Structure 1
Amino acid sequence: MADMECPTVMNNLITFLSSLLQRVAESNDLNPRFHPQKISAFHGLTRPTISIQSYLERIFKYANCSPSCYVVAYVYLDRFTQQQPALSINSFNVHRLLITGVMIAAKFMDDLYYNNAYFAKVGGISTTEMNFLEVDFLFGLGFQLNVNPTTFHTYCSYLQREMLLLQPPLDHHLTSSSSSSSSSLPSITTKLLHYEDDHQQQEVAAV
């Protein structure tokens, strides 16, 4: 994604990632039986009042990390959900997962980055909690932090393709694309598409 420095591209990336994670979180909130649930250090007692998009925009505004970090953070979230299948992304944990993923990506990708105390302030949590979440996330990833050029390009290509299709509405494209390109989608999206397909079949059966 060579043109990620472009403000329009970054705005589209933030919008797309926010929309995707919002849909994943909502589907898991509504269907805990379909998605095994596990309470973890990332799980808040209440849903944050700030939206996922506003939260990600806040991180982008204040973290000052390179645009590549957001792609790498997405890779990390995808790996995390694969390594921790009982820990589903939902409205109670998505914000903490996001701030932790971006912070770790910044440390791995950038020569200069803010410390944990700063990221904690950006994320609205304590430094102690930020430190704990970092360790928990790293162990959850199995310390698989390296993202080789091929993997990075694969995720970039997917994100670029999806961002070009922000119009018509994202919901329509995600649903319609499941039959043609789901095999190439990262697993977070694939799980969501599988859920939508199963849910639609259940509705048809009920009728």
Structure 2
Amino acid sequence: MSELDCPTVMTKMIAYLSSLLERVAESNDLNPQFSPQKVSAFHGLTRPSISIQSYLERIFKYANCSPSCYVVAYVYLDRFTQQQPALLINSFNVHRLLITSVMVAAKFMDDLYYNNAYYAKVGGISTTEMNFLEVDFLFGLGFQLNVNPTTFHTYCSYLQKEMLILQPSLNTEESSSSSFKSRSTKLLHYEDDQQQHEVVAV
């Protein structure tokens, strides 16, 4: 059993990733050079009402993919932002990037995974859009899906280290804000519930 299989570790990881992505999105939203950017298929017309953390918790609750998928999804987001520098993560695209990266990671990593229609329902988008986002994401990655053990452990170690560093500061809003502000520019750049769930549109 790996450390990632521990529910407490996964809860902390989701909280950290959510906070990091939130800081990055907020920073890019306020960037004066942000408006001329290329609008992509991942951009919604409005900001989703659901928070990034609630959205990632929803994915974790219903996607049932292995804990390793979230580390690999983190690697994919990093690669995507490096290969698509004109497409900055912001409040209008972060949710779609999240659901797509997790779905692609699950398909690559897990022996068993849901179909696109299921992930679309979890993500609050149509199956047609989910299919299109998957293709767009794959081309954006240049189909570089392989994550070797060294890369995986590097990202995993980074996540664990950052969670330990930021844990004390998560208790106060002010210190958390300053901590993530200093890290937000680094994104990311390191090579069963049976009840019917409500669809949250993004």
| TM-score interval for Structure 1 and Structure 2 normalised by the shorter chain | 0.7 to 0.9
Report SS of the residue matched to 1:188.
coil
* Equivalent-residue separation in structure 2 for 1:146 and 1:16 (angstroms): 24
Q: Equivalent residue for 1:118?
A: 118
CA contact (8 A) 1:78 1:186 kept: no
CA contact (8 A) 2:76 2:141 kept: yes
Q: Equivalent residue for 2:162?
A: 162
Report SS of the residue matched to 1:164.
helix
Q: Equivalent residue for 1:202?
A: none
Q: Equivalent residue for 1:94?
A: 94
Structure 1 residues 37-80: Cα deviation after superposition (integer angstroms, max 9, x where no partner):
22000000000000000000000000000000000000000000
CA contact (8 A) 1:20 1:189 kept: no
Superposition TM-score, scaled by structure 1 size = 0.83
Moved more, 23-32 or 113-122: 23-32
Q: What stretches of structure 1 of length at least 5 have no aligned partner?
A: 179-184, 191-207
Report SS of the residue matched to 2:75.
helix
Q: Which amino acid aligns with 2:15?
A: T
Q: Give the number of aligned pairs.
A: 183
Runs of 4+ in structure 1 off by over 6 angstroms are none
* Equivalent-residue separation in structure 1 for 2:76 and 2:36 (angstroms): 20
CA drift of 1:173 comes to: 3.6
Q: Which amino acid aligns with 1:188?
A: L
CA contact (8 A) 1:155 1:186 kept: no
Q: Which amino acid aligns with 1:94?
A: V
Higher relative contact order (CA 8 A, sep 6+): 2
Structure 1 residues 70-112: Cα deviation after superposition (integer angstroms, max 9, x where no partner):
0000000000000000000000000000000000000000000
CA RMSD of aligned residues (A): 2.0
Q: Equivalent residue for 1:7?
A: 7
Q: Equivalent residue for 1:194?
A: none
Mapping 1:1-207, distance limit 5 Å:
2-33=2-33, 37-165=37-165, 166-169=167-170, 170-174=176-180, 187-189=186-188
Superposition TM-score, scaled by structure 2 size = 0.85
Q: Equivalent residue for 2:195?
A: none
After superposition, the Cα gap between the structure-2 partners of 1:32 and 1:104, relative to the gap in structure 1 and judged at 3 Å, is farther
Q: What stretches of structure 2 of length at least 5 have no aligned partner?
A: 171-175, 190-202
Point out the structure with the larger helix share: 1
